[in-house]
Structure 1
């Protein structure tokens, strides 16, 4: 069941700001600081047809683009990689749905006449899931303001220097 009110601040942010209260906040679980290992895409996205290959390529490209940045900016660890994996698969499936919509059109002809292309429903569902993952990982401009850099993130050797 969801809890009302604002999302709680991460433990380290509350400590840095001096607002940490032991009776109201918990340090939460600490994960080992190991970098996420890229998954075997063939295990998660099997299939030898051209569409399956394109989906795997899109997922691998999303992993290469997003995960290194999340390791540096948010302290993503291998223990937490499933959320990043889900993001990459969702992105790849959304690209696949949009590719089908572009080639087949929004309306397709069937034996019962013209109907909405089923890929529109698929794209809508993946887009909704994608938005939730973007918020979870802090990948939108608004969600990025809620991210707290991991400990030791104040050095000059940052990714944006």
Structure 2
């Protein structure tokens, strides 16, 4: 029976652990992803918050899906609220007046904005919780996650 021979260059490569602490070091803006570019309000929000999050040095690569979801929810909220303004809180259907379905979108989008915004420190309470004075993360277990 033959044994297993070690061959140079064959086998698993050692994992190189990236240093996520500098994901966006010296990055001051990030282009709006292509899939958001047709969503006008999402673009406006992206261009408003991404430079600010980068400036605060709290945005990491692992946060980008939260930024996308926040911007999409903002777009959906604005579009749905526009529908409510145009057609009212109730609409006429063949079976009578019903609640405007856009109100459901307003409600769901508002919750998403609150949730994803809190994850990103975009409201005063979560910003205070996530950050200490001087814009530096607090020295607690969660702060370590923020500074990955």
The alignment status of 1:69 with 2:59, answered yes or no, reads no
TM-score, normalization by structure 1 = 0.62
Residue ranges of structure 2 left out of the alignment (5+ in a row): 1-18, 138-148
TM-score, normalization by structure 2 = 0.67
For residue 103 of structure 1, give the secondary structure of its aligned residue in structure 2. helix
Query: What does residue 132 of structure 1 align with?
Result: 115
Q: Alpha-carbon deviations, 1:60-109, whole Å to 9, x = none? A: 11011111111122421344211111111110110001000000100100
Q: Distance in 2 between matches of 1:78 and 1:38?
A: 14
Residue ranges of structure 1 left out of the alignment (5+ in a row): 1-28, 46-52, 152-161
Shift of 1:146: 1.6
Shift of 1:44: 4.2
Which aligned pairs between 1:20-99 and structure 2 lie closer than 5 A?
Answer: 30-34=20-24, 35=27, 37-41=30-34, 43-44=35-36, 56-99=39-82
For residue 145 of structure 1, give the secondary structure of its aligned residue in structure 2. helix
For the aligned residue pairs, the C-alpha RMSD in angstroms reads 2.2
Q: Distance in 1 between matches of 2:130 and 2:55?
A: 12
Q: How many residues align?
A: 113
C-alpha contact 1:37 1:78 (8 A) present in aligned 2: no
Shift of 1:31: 4.6
Larger radius of gyration: 2
Query: What does residue 5 of structure 2 align with?
Result: none
For residue 108 of structure 1, give the secondary structure of its aligned residue in structure 2. strand
